[in-house]
Amino acid sequence: MQHNAQEPHASLPGVVFAAGESPLFALDDSVRILQRKPIGHYRVPTYLRGKVGTVVQIITPIGIDNEEEGFGRDAGVKLHYYRIAIPMSELWPEYSGSPRDGLRVEVYETWLERI
Amino acid sequence: MHESNEHGHPHAEISHTERPGYYEIMETAVRELLVEKQLIGAGEIRRQIEVLDSRTPALGAKIVARAWLDPDFKARLLKNGRAGCEELGISFYDDTGLIVLENTEKVHNLIVCTLCSCYPRPVLGLPPDWYKLKPYRSRAVSEPRAVLAEFGTIIPDDVEIRVSDSTSMVRYLVLPRRPEGTEGFTEEQLAALVTRDAMIGVIPANSPAAENAP
């Protein structure tokens, strides 16, 4: 099992991928991290919820939803994690460093929406 | 093995005298239950401690030094951090991924885990206490330049700061810039310049001159 920075493989013509094998989001897509407030321990820090960023890397291989797994629920489905770039100015309106400074975070597919 | 304090210098008896805390008691109870039910053995716990003890920043320093010396290895490492480390014989016992973040003239990387203490343990071992405490965890993502300045690291405004917040599957390792004045250095000499904190991204790699300073 390898985690890498490669783009996922494209399918050979005629080969059908199962749901989840192909990433929903592509490089450079603008996405919003969902503003959800489930009770319990979740792996999306609250300071990032509702924030807008850009997909800079599709992380492979696909992984199980470790939030579901963590609560002992079915986690058989595997989806992609994405490395999301978010400008510091998006997170902190008062940010005083360089406007190019940014945050990077890996977010599971179920926590992202396209904008 | 000495049973008494007869090895040349006096010191207080080494013992735990405080009452165990809530989580310590919980850990003991769960561990004893797991062993009693034969789900795990005491040997497995001891083995895992050996695994953790075998991981130190020396491993990360070796990876960095190799990347500085071997451009092909560096390219493979940046493409797939975990595979690059595995190539050198470092396993990922916790099945995390690894993204290696290269510092350049234009970009300075810093790693943090705001949720807890995610850290590239397979290649660096246990994180320092400050990495796990809330001041670093909260400030690294909100005022990274101030945090870096407190470590003595001043990043020019035209250099972009990228803070990677580890949250679940992937861990990060900073590949510092190779210091000047290290032409002709061996892998071992280079590795000696690479500290844990440089691979977290709070300081640069040591320069050869600083290394010789008192």
Our answer to whether residue B142 is catalytic in this structure is no
* B160 lies within 8 A of chain A by CB: yes
Residue in A3, A45, A47 nearest the CB of B170: A3
Write down the domain spans for chain A.
Answer: 30-110
The CATH homologous superfamily of the domain defined by B57-212: Nitrile hydratase alpha /Thiocyanate hydrolase gamma (3.90.330.10)
Provide, as residue numbers in chain A, all residues whose Cβ is less than 8 Å from the Cβ of B78: 5
Stretch A23-51: mean pLDDT: 92
Q: Which two tokens stand for residue B142?
A: 């909100």
Domain ranges of chain B: 22-53, 57-212
Predicted ipTM of the assembly = 0.90
What's the average model confidence in pLDDT over A38-57? 92
B116 is catalytic: yes
Series of mean pLDDT values for 10-residue runs along chain B (214 residues): 60 83 95 94 93 97 98 97 97 95 98 96 97 97 98 97 94 98 97 98 91 50
- Which CATH code for domain A30-110? 2.30.30.50
- The SS3 call for residue B40 is coil
Return the exposure string of B71-97: e unless at least 16 CB atoms fall within 10 Å of the residue's CB, then b: eebbebbbebbbbbbeeeebebeeebb
* Residue in B83, B157, B168 nearest the CB of A4: B83
User: Cβ–Cβ contacts within 10 Å for residue B184, how many?
Assistant: 6
What local confidence, expressed as pLDDT, does residue A86 receive? 98
CB spacing of B168 vs A108 below 8 angstroms:
yes
Selection from B95, B98, B104 nearest residue B60 by Cα = B98
Q: Is A68 on the interface with B (CB under 8 A)?
A: no
B78 and B100 in contact (C-beta within 8 Å)?
Answer: yes
Q: Does B85 qualify as catalytic in the annotation? A: no
Tallying the residues shown for chain B, one arrives at: 214
